[in-house]
Chains A and B, each alone.
Chain A
C-alpha cells in the first residue's frame, strides 16, 4: 500500500443561487516514500484545490469534498479538526506559492519555525531554537543565527521560500505537498530551491507532491506526472514516456506551445486554440473537445473514460498517434 492514496477525490463548490462548480472531479493517485508525483495543469484546472482538499484546508461550508485520501491507512477526510491539526505539520507538510502571504509578518522567522517543533515534538524553546538553526542551515540560508531573529519582510523572496520549506520540514513529515513553490521566484533562485527539494526527497525519503504549471520543472523533478484539465486527470504516466510520447491532445498541445531554449530559430509555436472559457462540462462529453484538434463527434456526446494503456492512464476518445506533429492553428 502506498503512503498516500487519493481515490476519486471530488470537490464541489456550492454557492447559494448558483450552479454547483466541480473544481476537482474524481482525481486518483498514489505517492510512495521517496517518490515525487507531479500535478500539472494551467490556471483553473483544480491542482491547488486538490492539495487544499488533501490537507483539509478547504472551508467546511460551501465546499463539498468526497472520495478518500488515505494516508498510511487512515482516511484524512474522516478525521476531526482536532485530529487533523495534529497531523498537519507533523505528518503532512505543505509549502505554498507565495511565501510572503503564508508567513506571519509580525512574528520573527525563528518563532515561526520553533512553533511547529514545540507544538508537535514538545521541545522546549531553547532546544527548538537550536533545531531551527540547523533547519535553516539545511535549506541553505546563510547566517541562520541572525535570520532567526528577523521578520519575513527582511528576507528576500528566495530566502522566504527556504524558510517556508524549513517550517514544513521541521517535524520531518513523510509527505510534503508543494503548491507552485517556485512560481514567484526568478529562474536562478528557482534552480536553488528545486535542488534543495530534490536533495530532501533523496536524503530523507520524503514523498513529494509537486503542483506546478511549469512542464520544465516537472521534467526535471517528478517521477510520475498527472496532467489535469478542468478538474480531471486526462493523462497519467511516468515522466519519460509522457514527454517523449504525449498521447492526450492536451498534453501534446501544451508541449508544442512552449518555446524551448534548445529549439532552432524560426521554429513556429503551435498554440492550443481558444481558452479555458470554451470548455464544456465533463458531464456532456470531453471538456477539452472545443479546443481539441483531434475532436470527433463522439467527443461532445460521451464523456471519455479513463483507460489503462501500457502503464499509462488516458482519458480520450481519439488520442494522438505517437510521432505526429502538432496540428496547425485554425484561425479563430
Chain B
C-alpha cells in the first residue's frame, strides 16, 4: 500500500460561457481551476484555502467528478479515478464521500435521519440484515454524538450543528477512505463550530480517515490540517505544512491573507502590520497574464511577473511556492511598494477582445 492516497495531476476545469439563442456559441471560458497538482497522503488532512471565486470548491467537486474536469486526472489509491465510468465509478464512489457546507439544503427535508443514513448503505449493498443495519446506525450516531432517538426525526428538528453531524454521519456510513469537506463549519456559530471541528478530528483518529478540507477561514484550516494549499484564481500559489505556512509564508498573497485575518486579541491586533491588497480579485474569465497575482502584488517586479506564469517549486523541504521572486522577497532584497487598484469588471467578465455579436436571449432577439 503506497503512502499516497490521492494524487491530482494538472487538473483543469473550464466552464464555457455561451451566447446565442438557436445555436450556442462559446464566447469564452471561466478558468475556474487552471492546472493544479497536489498529493494527499493516507491519514492526513489536507486543507485548501482561498477567497471566494478562487476555484477551491470547483477543484474539490472535480476530484469527486461532480463536475467533469476539462483536463488532468486524479489517481485514487493507485487507480485512475478520472478514467473509470458507469458501474465501476459508482462502486468507487463509496470510498470517497463528501460533507457539504449548508447542512439544511444538503439533507432532504422529507427524509428521516434513518432513511438518509440507510440510503447510501442500500445503494452499496451494505444493508444485509435488519439487526446489522440497526447496529450500524446506532454506532454512527454515537460516533457523531447524536442520541439514537434522532433516527426518527427529520432535519428541520435539529439545530445547525446537529444537522452538520447528520451530514458527517452520512459520509461516514459507507466507511470511506477519503472525506472531502467543503466549508464544513462556515455556516455555524463559533461556539458550535468548535464542536464540529473537534468531532472531525476525533473521527479521523478513530477511523483513520483522510480529509480534504476546503474552507475560506485560514484559522480553521490551520487548526485542523497537516498540510495547507493556498489557491488564488484557479491555481495553487503555495503549499506547506500548516506550521510552516504560518511561521514563514513565502508567497506575497499568503502574506497578505495571513495579515488580513483578525486575531481575537487586542495586544496582537495593535502591534500587527497589515499588508493591504489593492482592488479586487480579477475575473477568472479573463485572468491576468503571467503571474495571476501580479495586478495586486505589492512585491511585483518589472520583469517576468506579467509575462511568465510561475510554476510551483520547492523552496525548502515540504514548502512549495509559485513566485518568481520568492527567494529575494524572503531575504528582504525586494521591498514591497504601493499598488494602485485596477478596475475589475463584474458581470460575465468576458475578455473585451471578444465581439459580442448576435442576441444573447430570446428577449434580445425579439427587441433588437
Measured CB to CB, the residues of A under 8 A from B are: 42-43, 140, 142-143, 146, 153-156, 158-159, 186-192, 194-195, 213-220, 239-240, 243-244, 253-263, 265, 267-273, 275-277, 329, 331-332
Contact = CB atoms under 8 A, between A and B. Distances in A.
A286 B200 CA distance: 31
Interface in B162-207: 162, 189-195, 197-198, 201
A277 B261 contact: no
Q: Identify which of A192, A255, A256 gathers the most chain B CB atoms within 10 Å of its CB.
A: A192
A43 B189 contact: yes
Given A187-B257, A189-B280, A268-B198, A258 B189 contact: no
B266 A188 contact: no
18 contacts: A142-B341, A153-B346, A159-B280, A187-B216, A192-B276, A216-B261, A216-B263, A220-B269, A243-B266, A243-B267, A258-B190, A259-B197, A260-B219, A261-B219, A262-B246, A272-B192, A275-B191, A329-B195
Interface in B327-367: 340-347
Contact of B274 (A42, A146, A156, A191): A191
Interface in B208-265: 216, 218-220, 222-224, 242-243, 246, 256-265
A271 B219 contact: no
Given A42-B189, A269-B197, 12 more contacts: A155-B346, A156-B344, A186-B52, A216-B263, A220-B262, A258-B264, A259-B194, A261-B222, A262-B268, A271-B198, A277-B159, A329-B195
Chain B interface SS verdict (over half): helix
Contacts of B263: 216, 219-220, 260-262
Contacts of A277: 159
B343 A259 contact: no
Interface residues of B, number: 57
B256 A188 contact: yes
A153 B345 CA distance: 10
Given A219-B262, A253-B191, A258-B190, A154 B347 contact: yes
Contacts of B160: 275
A214 B262 contact: yes
Given A257-B190, A261-B218, A216 B264 contact: yes
Nearest to A261: B219
Contacts of A220: 262-263, 266, 269-270, 272
Contact of A239 (B198, B256, B266, B281): B266
Nearest to B225: A265
A271 B276 contact: no
A219 B276 CA distance: 18
Contacts of A142: 279, 340-343
B280 A213 contact: no
A186 B223 contact: no
B155 interface: no
A271 B261 CA distance: 21
A195 B242 CA distance: 28
Given A219-B262, A219-B266, A269-B198, A261 B189 contact: no
Contact of B223 (A192, A217, A259, A332): A259
Contacts of A146: 343
